[in-house]
Structure 1
Amino acid sequence: MKRTSRVPDLAETEKAAPEVQARAPRTRRYHVGQQEIIQGDCLRILKRMKPESVDLVVTSPPYNIGLGYRSYQDRRAEDDYLDWMVGVAAAVRRVLRPDGSFFLNIAGTSAEPWLPFELVVRLRALFALQNHISWVKSIAVPGDSFGHFKPVNSGRYLNRNHEHLFHLTLHGDVQLNRLAAGVPFKDKSNIARRGHAQDQRCRGDTWFVPYETVRDREQKFNHPGTFPVQLPELCIRLHGRPDPVVLDPFMGTGTTLLAAHRTGARGIGIEIDPDYVTIARRRLKDAAVS
């Protein structure tokens, strides 16, 4: 039997997080070059955006694992969190173009590993899972290791060295520019022998993107959940549209907008916390003059 599912109505999904809406600050807008920052609650702002106006979405929402955000309590009942995230995804679907891509970065914990999978299963009502990318943050090879290993003091669990990057599209048929996010051939004889036009091959679905080494939270802009600029940059390049409009509804300190700036894209970042907005504006201004 064919599986059918109902796309949630936006009016329904707005009810998912009333405590967030109740304290949502007044919307403010800032522009730095081609990048637009909107301070406010993402569900309210997404509802006001023009339908089918965004080429791709790259975002890393709160993981519901108790991180110390300034303006958001990152620990709610699991069903409440999942309902809220489905509401955000429904709002994203409305603003995404028919050939758009939604790159969702999320992770669980050793003690609570199921949450990312629970979420992506619920999102089957809204999207097709076109690609599942493993973002490898650190890796061990014989006699050596690369990247940042976050210590885990446990006799039961292994160090968690990767996160999920779900590539969601409306129907699973979006054409990508795989070589724009590719890597050079290791064996150069493959270029001519297999008739490739350039020294570039598909990166595949495991992306080793390490963090730059930091020694304290200040170097991470006092944000508990940053990701490297290269990660959203690869997503933008992979989607492969010229002059795209890139949206991050959980902008944080502006990393996705920095990636948009680097790639010549127009970025829209939504963030509820005014302190993170200030940091994002400063980072973009610094990037514009560097």
Structure 2
Amino acid sequence: MGGRRGVPKPYASLRSTGGALRFHYGDALDLLARLPAGSIDVIVTSPPYNLGVRYRSYRDTLPQARYLDWTDEWIAAAARVLAPQGSLFLNVGATPKRPWTALDVAQTARRHLELQNVIHWVKSIAIDREAAGARAGLARDLAVGHYKPINSERFLNDCQEFIFHFTPEARTPLDRRAIGVPYQDPSNIARWQAGGGGLRCRGNTWFIPYQTIQSRDRERPHPATFPPKLPEWCIRLHGLDRVRHVVDPFVGLGSTPVACAQLGIGCTGVDLDRNYLDEAVARTREALRERRRAARSAASRGGRGEG
């Protein structure tokens, strides 16, 4: 961030049934500048938050005005390449001492795109047994997910981040039931459902916890990542049948291309750090292997069934 490096260099390319998964070494602005206008259906990304996160290859402590100028520049570039009914899913967090950061980013994006939905990525949640009701079957209050504890008498533990869903005109149709949840009361299916297989819209609170890991340095060697399920849900919500190619201009450890590999969709990602790119390529390659193993297993079961 802040140091342009010219033309982004092709770093790796993996083959998928739905298109190539391409990785570039370089700057997000340089990659976006080289994409054709209106060519990208979905962008899912999480840029640096300017909160002093210790990245390997760029400084996350810019003066706030400079950071927002840079934000304005890359979002303008993203808006140019977005298809007329495309979606930009922008994950931004904050800290208790700097709570305005995410909202400042959203206000900056307002100059170029319309805010169609605000989604809350819930990383940890506590559910009160009494409030959940008898049907939930809880024996006691339930706390699930992972968070970073805050030792403070003023601030609450930070258990959520924003996902701002921007579109060109706030008129982009969505496949809301693609990540839907079953109706809890069967009587509501007849009352509210018009198709959808008994599913309703999940809403704008998404509980997506991190997987439990044993070693941060080995299993998640990046200070700010989101789980692959997050971009998967974003892409499914946009509508798989309308997604030809996805872009992540801050690809990091590759959660977005991993999701695209699992879904059989092409993806392009770029990052300033070769170590992160190496990890992203390795994770995406493994996701492709898992998809192929699953396809072979399904074909094998189908063959036995026909016999």
Question: What is the letter of the counterpart of residue 77 of structure 1?
Answer: P
Report the equivalent of 2:266.
266
CA distance in 1, matches of 2:178, 2:269: 24
Report the equivalent of 2:177.
179
1:227 aligns with 2:226: yes
The question of whether the paired residues in 2 share the 8 Å contact of 1:221 and 1:279 is answered with no
1:130 aligns with 2:129: no
Aligned residue runs from structure 1 range 157-236, under 5 A: 157-197=155-195, 198-236=197-235
Report the equivalent of 2:4.
21
Report the equivalent of 2:293.
none
Report the equivalent of 1:100.
86
The question of whether the paired residues in 1 share the 8 Å contact of 2:10 and 2:22 is answered with no
The question of whether the paired residues in 1 share the 8 Å contact of 2:182 and 2:200 is answered with yes
User: How far did residue 285 of structure 1 move?
Assistant: 1.4
| Consecutive aligned runs of 4 or more in structure 1 exceeding 4 Å deviation | none
Distance change in 2, residues 1:65/1:220 (3 Å): farther
User: How far did residue 234 of structure 1 move?
Assistant: 0.3
Using structure 1 for the length normalisation, give the TM-score.
0.90
Q: Percent identity?
A: 42
Distance change in 2, residues 1:201/1:26 (3 Å): closer
Report the equivalent of 2:23.
37
Report the equivalent of 1:14.
none
Distance change in 2, residues 1:234/1:182 (3 Å): same
User: How far did residue 195 of structure 1 move?
Assistant: 4.2
Distance change in 2, residues 1:113/1:194 (3 Å): closer
Question: What is the letter of the counterpart of residue 31 of structure 1?
Answer: S
CA distance in 1, matches of 2:116, 2:179: 16
User: How far did residue 241 of structure 1 move?
Assistant: 4.0
Distance change in 2, residues 1:113/1:179 (3 Å): same
Query: In structure 2, which of residues 104, 126, 129 is the aligned counterpart of residue 118 of structure 1?
Result: 104
Structure 1 counterpart SS, 2:161: strand
Question: What is the letter of the counterpart of residue 274 of structure 2?
Answer: P
The question of whether the paired residues in 2 share the 8 Å contact of 1:220 and 1:226 is answered with no
User: How far did residue 219 of structure 1 move?
Assistant: 4.4
Which stretch shows the higher mean deviation, 173-182 or 213-222? 213-222
Distance change in 2, residues 1:170/1:25 (3 Å): closer
User: How far did residue 281 of structure 1 move?
Assistant: 1.0
Question: What is the letter of the counterpart of residue 127 of structure 2?
Answer: V
Q: Which runs of 5+ in 2 are unaligned?
A: 129-140, 291-307
Structure 2 counterpart SS, 1:21: coil
Structure 1 counterpart SS, 2:3: helix
Q: Which runs of 5+ in 1 are unaligned?
A: 1-16
Structure 1 counterpart SS, 2:183: coil
CA distance in 2, matches of 1:173, 1:182: 20
User: How far did residue 254 of structure 1 move?
Assistant: 0.7
The question of whether the paired residues in 1 share the 8 Å contact of 2:120 and 2:160 is answered with yes
Distance change in 2, residues 1:281/1:188 (3 Å): same
Question: What is the letter of the counterpart of residue 97 of structure 1?
Answer: A
Using structure 2 for the length normalisation, give the TM-score.
0.85
Structure 1 counterpart SS, 2:147: coil
Who wins on radius of gyration, i.e. which is larger?
A: 2
User: How far did residue 220 of structure 1 move?
Assistant: 4.1
Report the equivalent of 2:301.
none
Instruction: Encode CA deviations 1:11-51: one digit per residue, 9 max, x unaligned.
Output: xxxxxx6x4115x6861242111211111111112111111
Distance change in 2, residues 1:177/1:270 (3 Å): same
User: How far did residue 188 of structure 1 move?
Assistant: 2.4
Distance change in 2, residues 1:116/1:99 (3 Å): same
Structure 2 counterpart SS, 1:94: helix
Instruction: Encode CA deviations 1:63-85: one digit per residue, 9 max, x unaligned.
Output: 11111111111111001111101
Instruction: Encode CA deviations 1:77-98: one digit per residue, 9 max, x unaligned.
Output: 0011111011010110111101
